[in-house]
Structure 1
C-alpha cells in the first residue's frame, strides 16, 4: 500500500507543473550536442563540454556516473567541474541534482547560496534555498521568497502555494494559511491532493471536525498516511469506535503493522495524539513527499522524484514515509549502499514496513546481493515473527543460496502460521518447501508437499513439471510422472525448462527417438544453458548421432559449467573421451556414484 496514492488527474497536473523544473533550467543552457549517450534517459542531453583545461575529465566522469546512477561519484565530479567553470548553469544544476540525490543536502545548500550570490539563481537552487529556510524556521523569509499568488507564475503556483500555506502557519497566520489552501483547492484536477493538506492544516490548528470531514472523502484520505491521519483525528473527537472500524475495513491492513498498532491503541483506550504533522516544517515535508510520490509513480519516472523525497526526509527525518520513499527510489536505481542507511533508520524508528521489506529482499536477491538479502529477511522475521510472508522470504533466500536444509524450517514456520489461512495462501510455501526438501534428499516429505500444492493449483505448469521430473529421476510412478510433465508442456508449451524435463523423461524411459524433438525445442530458448546442451548431446548419442553429440558436449564445456549448475565438466570430458555408453557402464559398476547429469527441474520457484 503506497503512503500517498494520487488520482490520475492530479498526476497529470503535477507532471505539467514540473515540466519546466524537470529540464533543470534548460532555458539557460546552450544548444545540446548530439546525444551520444541517448540511453541515459534519466538525464537531459548535456551542453557541449567546455574546452577549458582541467574541465573535460571531471565532466565526462560525472556524465558516466549519472548514467550509472552513481550519485556520490556524480556529485564529486560535477563539483570539480563547477570549480573550473563557476558560471555554467547546467554544471551548477547538475551538481545540485547529484548532491541532493546522494543525500549531501548541506553541501547542496552551500552551492545554492553561492549561485544566488554570483548571479540569478536557477529554479533548483531557489527550491533548495526555500527548503533551507524551512529548515531554519525562517517563515517570513520564505514567504517573501515565495511571493504572493499574483506574483507567482501559474505553472509553479501549486508547489509554491502549498508551501506558502504551511509557511503562513509557521508565521502564526492560521486564517491566511487555510484560505490559501482553499484557494488552491479550486484549481482543476488537484482538489483531492490540496484538500489532504488542508485537512492536515486544520487538524494542526485544532479544527478536528473540519479535518475529519475532508479526510472522510475517498479521493482525499484513502491512502496510508490519510488513514493514519483520519484515525488520529477521530481519536481527538472521541470517535474511537469509528476509527477502529475504518482501520479494520482497509484492504490489506494485515500487512500494515503501524495501522494495526494504532488500532490496538485506540481499542485499549490509550492516548492517541495527532502527530502525522507535528510542525509546519513537517507539513512542507509532506508537500515534497506528495510531489515525489506523483513523480515516482508516473509512467516515465522523473529524476526529480528523488530530489523531492530527499528534501522531505531532510526537513522531517522522523517522517517514516519520506525515508521509505528515498530508500525505495534508491533501491530501484540499484544504489543499495545509499538506500541501506534509510532502511536502517526505519528499523531504529520501529517503522519497518513489511511490504517494502519484502520488495527490498527480492530486489537484493535479484541483484546478487544474497548476503544482504539474508540479513534483511532475518531482520524482518525478528521484527514480525507472526508474519508468514517474512518466513517465506527467508526460506526463499536460503533456497536460492542452495541452503536447502536450512530453508525447510523457515517454510515450516510460515506454513504453521498459515494453517488456518485459505488454501490459496498455502500453495506457494508448500511448493517452495517441497523443492527444499527434494534438494536435501527428503523425498517422502517433498512428495507430500508437491501433491498438496497440486490439489490447490492443479494447473500450475512448473509445479506439475517439478513433481513429474522428481518421480522420473528416481524411477518412481513413471507413467503418472510422464503424464504430469506432458500436462505441464500442454499448459506452457514454450517453456524451455519444461521441454527439457519432457525430453529427459523420455530419455530415462529409453524412448530416445521421442526425446529428440522436445530437447531441440528446449535448446532454441536455452542455448546458453550448459545443462540443456549436455542433455541434447546425450540424446543425440543414444540415437546414433555421435558427431552431433560431441559438438553439443563441447558446446556445454565452452559455457564453463562449474558443477554448481548440475553439470559435471569432468563427466562431459569423460563422455568426449570414451563415449556415453562407456561412462554409463562405469557408473553402473559404481552405484554409489552420483549422476551429475540429472537436472534440477525448474527449481527457481517464485511467487
Structure 2
C-alpha cells in the first residue's frame, strides 16, 4: 500500500516550470575571485585576454569549494555539498548555478531554515530562480502569510498552461487559508478539469471540502478509487465516514484492504472506530497541511518516474517541514535518503516515525535490507530487533532478524528467530513457509544439527521442488556427509538444469563428481563454473584438483597458483598452506598425508545459498 497517485508520470512531466541547476559540464569553469559576471560574447568577439596575475591555487578561492561540492554531490553527501556550495556562493554571490546548487544541497541535508534565508536573499537581490521561488512560497505557507502567497502565485488566466498545476494547487489552499472557501473550492474544481490530473486534484478538493465541513461532498469524491485508493485517502475517508455516523462502513472498508495489518495508522483508526472512541478529521488539519500534501504528491510523482528526479527529495523535505506530523512525508524523506545511501540523514526520520507510533513494517524491512547491503550490520540488527519488538506477530520481522544473524554467521542465534517465524506461519499457505524452512535449515546445518536441517530442507523442497539453490544446498550437504550420494547427485543435476549459468551450482556438480571419483565428468562443469567465477579462489582450487586427478598436472599447478594469487582467506573456504603443499608435493601426496593423519579428504566448503 503506497501513496502513489494516479498518472504520476504525467504529473512529473507537468513540472517543466521548475528546473534544477545545470550539470557541471554545462557550467563554465569558476571565474577568478573579483571578476564580475560577463555578458555572453558575440559570435565574432575575440577571446578575452588571459589575466596577467597567476591564478589562485585550486584549494583557495572559488575553485576549491566548487570542486569539493561537486564531488560531494556525486556521492550524495548532502551535508558536505551544502557546506561547500555555501562557501562557493560566498565567493561568487551572483552566480545562479551556485545559488540553486546550494539550495538543493541545503534542503536535501534538512537545513531548511538556511535554505529559506538564502532563497529570500536571492529574491531580494533580483529576479529569483524557480527553485528559490518555490522555497520562498513554502516559507510564506510556513509563516501563515496567505495574502503574500496569493500575491506571489498570482491569479489564473484563460490561457494558463498545465505546467502551472503546482501554482494552482498552492493557490487553492492559499485561498482557503485566507478565508475564501468558495473561491478555494472553485479553484480546485477548475484544476480538476485539466486533462490527466483530475483524480489527484479531486483528492485535494475532498480534503478542502472536509476541512470546511462538507463531509458528504468529500466522501463522494474519496469513494472513487482513482481519487482515494491510497493510504492517506483511506485514512481520510474512514475519518469522514465517522463524522457521518457511518462507522461500520468505515471499519468494513479498512478491514477489506490487503496488507492492512502492516499499516499502524489504519489499524489505530479501525480500533477507535470499533470501540466508539471520538474520531476527528485530522488527515488535513490546516491549509498548510494541505500544501504539505501537495508537495508530497509531487515528490511521489518525481520519485516514481523512470529516471528519478532529484527534486523529489526537495518536495518531500518541504512537505515534512510544513507538516512534521504527517508520517507519509517523513517516510518518503527517509526512503529517498536511504536509497541514496545517506543513512545518517535518514535515521532521524525513522526515529521520528517510531516516536509517532508510525513504524511501517514494509519500510522497516526495506531499511533493514539496505543497511545490511551497506555492511552496517549492527544498525540493521538493531532495526530488526526493534521491528520484532514493535510487531511480535509479524513473521517477516523474525525472518529478517534470522537472515541478519545468519549472514553474520551467528547460526545458533538465528535458529530461534526462524522458529518464531515458522510458528507464526503455521496456518499460512505453504508457499509462505518454504524460505524460512530453507533458511532455518542452513542455520541448523551450520550449527551441526543436521538431522533437523535435513527435515527442513526436505519440507522446503516439497513446497518448492524447482528452487535451484535449495536443491543444491541439500545435495551438496549429502555429498559432504557421504550420504545419499545418488540422490544428492540427482538434486544437484536438477539444480543445474534449472540454473545452467549459476557458477556456484556448476561448481557443486563438478565437486560432487569429484567426490564420487568421476573425475572426467567433473572437468566440463568446473570449467564452465570458472568462466563465470574466475576471481573465486575456491573454484580455481577445485579446478586444479580435478585437473590433477585426470592427469593434467601442469594445468593443475596453474590453477593452484591462480587461487593463491587471489589472496584467499578463511571466508573463501580455502587453505593457502594446503595449496602450497599441493604445489610442492602434488595432490596425491597431500591426500596420502591427510589420510595417514586421519583427516578427511578435501573439506567440502559450505554450499552457496540464496540470501533471500
Question: Fold-level match, TM-score > 0.5?
Answer: yes
Following TM superposition, by how much is the alpha carbon of 1:360 offset from its aligned partner in structure 2, in angstroms? 0.9
Following TM superposition, by how much is the alpha carbon of 1:588 offset from its aligned partner in structure 2, in angstroms? 2.2
Q: How far apart, in 2, do the equivalents of 1:378 and 1:550 lie?
A: 48
Q: Is the 8 A contact 2:507 2:539 kept in 1?
A: yes
- 1:296 maps to what in 2? 303
Corresponding position: 1:50 with 2:31: yes
Q: 1:98 aligns with which of 105, 122, 131?
A: 105
- 2:605 maps to what in 1? 599
SS for the counterpart of 1:309 is: helix
- 1:358 maps to what in 2? 365
Corresponding position: 1:562 with 2:560: no
Offset from partner CA, 1:307-352 (integer Å, 9 cap, x none): 0000001111111100000010011111111111111111111111
Following TM superposition, by how much is the alpha carbon of 1:55 offset from its aligned partner in structure 2, in angstroms? 0.7
Following TM superposition, by how much is the alpha carbon of 1:155 offset from its aligned partner in structure 2, in angstroms? 4.5
Q: Within 5 A, what are the aligned runs for 1:76-475?
A: 76-150=83-157, 154-475=161-482
Q: 2:9 aligns with which of 2, 8, 11?
A: 11
Q: How far apart, in 2, do the equivalents of 1:553 and 1:244 lie?
A: 67
Q: How far apart, in 1, do the equivalents of 2:300 and 2:324 lie?
A: 17
Q: Is the 8 A contact 2:262 2:362 kept in 1?
A: yes
Offset from partner CA, 1:496-517 (integer Å, 9 cap, x none): 1110000000011111111010
What residue ranges of structure 1 are gaps of 5+ in the alignment? 27-31, 36-44
- 1:21 maps to what in 2? 18
Q: How far apart, in 2, do the equivalents of 1:604 and 1:380 lie?
A: 23
Offset from partner CA, 1:144-201 (integer Å, 9 cap, x none): 1111112995244211111111111111221111111111101110000000011111
Q: Is the 8 A contact 2:12 2:298 kept in 1?
A: no
Q: How far apart, in 2, do the equivalents of 1:268 and 1:75 lie?
A: 49
Please say which of residues 442-451 and 46-55 is displaced more in the overlay: 46-55
- 2:589 maps to what in 1? 582
Number of corresponding residues: 586
Offset from partner CA, 1:226-258 (integer Å, 9 cap, x none): 111111111111111111111122122232233
SS for the counterpart of 1:150 is: coil
Rate the CA distance shift 1:466–1:155 in 2: closer, same or farther, 3 A. Answer: same
SS for the counterpart of 1:458 is: coil
Rate the CA distance shift 1:559–1:391 in 2: closer, same or farther, 3 A. Answer: same
Q: How far apart, in 1, do the equivalents of 2:382 and 2:597 lie?
A: 42
Q: How far apart, in 2, do the equivalents of 1:260 and 1:16 lie?
A: 35
Q: Is the 8 A contact 1:193 1:220 kept in 2?
A: yes
Following TM superposition, by how much is the alpha carbon of 1:440 offset from its aligned partner in structure 2, in angstroms? 1.3
Q: Is the 8 A contact 1:568 1:597 kept in 2?
A: no
Q: How far apart, in 2, do the equivalents of 1:421 and 1:134 lie?
A: 49
Q: How far apart, in 1, do the equivalents of 2:256 and 2:386 lie?
A: 29
Q: Is the 8 A contact 1:22 1:302 kept in 2?
A: no
Please say which of residues 110-119 and 410-419 is displaced more in the overlay: 110-119
Rate the CA distance shift 1:425–1:123 in 2: closer, same or farther, 3 A. Answer: same
Q: Is the 8 A contact 2:298 2:315 kept in 1?
A: yes
Rate the CA distance shift 1:502–1:151 in 2: closer, same or farther, 3 A. Answer: same
Q: How far apart, in 2, do the equivalents of 1:224 and 1:264 lie?
A: 16
Larger radius of gyration: 2
Following TM superposition, by how much is the alpha carbon of 1:302 offset from its aligned partner in structure 2, in angstroms? 0.4
Q: Is the 8 A contact 1:139 1:168 kept in 2?
A: yes
Following TM superposition, by how much is the alpha carbon of 1:134 offset from its aligned partner in structure 2, in angstroms? 0.9
- 1:528 maps to what in 2? 535
Corresponding position: 1:478 with 2:495: no
Rate the CA distance shift 1:308–1:554 in 2: closer, same or farther, 3 A. Answer: same
Q: Is the 8 A contact 1:530 1:567 kept in 2?
A: yes
Rate the CA distance shift 1:417–1:291 in 2: closer, same or farther, 3 A. Answer: same
SS for the counterpart of 2:352 is: helix
- 1:493 maps to what in 2? 500
Q: How far apart, in 2, do the equivalents of 1:589 and 1:135 lie?
A: 81
Offset from partner CA, 1:111-156 (integer Å, 9 cap, x none): 1111112111111111111111111111111111111112995244
- RMSD, aligned α-carbons: 1.6
Q: How far apart, in 1, do the equivalents of 2:124 and 2:508 lie?
A: 70
Q: How far apart, in 2, do the equivalents of 1:496 and 1:403 lie?
A: 26
Q: How far apart, in 2, do the equivalents of 1:594 and 1:258 lie?
A: 58
Q: How far apart, in 2, do the equivalents of 1:454 and 1:371 lie?
A: 32
SS for the counterpart of 1:564 is: helix
Q: Is the 8 A contact 2:227 2:233 kept in 1?
A: yes
